[in-house]
Amino acid sequence: MELVTLREVLNAAEKGGYAVGAFNANNMEIVQAIMRAAAAERSPVILQASQGAINYAGLDYIVTMVKTGARGTDVPVVLHLDHGTDFLQVMRCMRAGFSSVMFDGSRLPLAENMQITRKVVEIGRAVGVSVEGELGKIAGTEDDISVSEKEVLFTDPLEARQFVRETGVDALAIAIGTAHGPYKGRPELDFPRLARIRELTGASIVMHGASGVPDEDVRRGIDRGIRKINIDTDLRQAFVRAMQVQMAENPDNIDPRKVLGPAREAMEKVIREKMRLFGCAGKA
């Protein structure tokens, strides 16, 4: 199939009451692991590339690999820019063939975030590309900040209503206590805040930093309007640990395929488990 938009897969997720997994890709083996998992689970899938992934692999390589994978499967595939912070980079991704982009203006003052996000949405609508916005600041697990300091960064529900009304985003990333990277303890998620944001905005909500969030909290999030779930760290861990095992067990091996192949398989397994947890398995 050709790539589909985020809007299209989220419309189906809204009707079905499930969330679609968004998995970060940086190289061919990761793209293949994501595609194979989606095909095996009959799941719609969002394959996302960060600015770091684009710097690493190259914009055209990412688009070509993902389009090749999508054409080789009959499940819906979205190619999404993850955390685009630069307006011009977002434009380059649209032109290169991404079917969805995130403009992350969460570090900007609210008015500026809304103004640029609205502009991205206008352009996206004109060319058939979906847009995710972000309001509130999603911390990194390495950021050494207290719980009360974290709450200051959480998304304000009334601001979220204004943000969604004025920008028209297809999906809204919010800060309710998740963080990027491995958690040190159990994350404390603010579910009443999530429910309030959903109630006031009616938007499809995105959970970032979902690696390491307990399964029951993922389900509680989906019950309250989470429709896109971003996973990177859990995939990185599965991939690199499998490589480490291969290299430790076969120190004389010099064939990269013997290291990367098992890493690809380990990652595919984790993605398939996530798809079943999110409820998107069997929905394609």
Residues annotated as part of the active site: 82
* Residues 68-97 interacting with ligand 13P (rule: CB under 6 A): 82-83
Q: With respect to ligand 13P, which residue has the nearer C-beta, 61 or 183?
A: 183
Binding mask 172-201 for ligand G3H (x = CB under 6 A): --------x---------------------
Q: Is 52 in the site for ligand G3H (CB under 6 A)?
A: yes
Q: Is 211 in the site for ligand 13P (CB under 6 A)?
A: yes
Of residues 208 and 283, the one with the C-beta less far from Zn ion? 208
Among 41, 232, 234, 268, binds ligand G3H (CB under 6 A): 232
Within residues 13-42, the interface with ligand 13P by CB under 6 A covers 24
137: nearest Cα among 192, 209, 86, 195: 209
Among 53, 206, 222, 229, binds ligand G3H (CB under 6 A): 53
Nearer to ligand G3H, 39 or 207 (CB): 207
Give the residues lining the site for ligand G3H (CB under 6 A).
24, 50, 52-53, 82-83, 180, 232
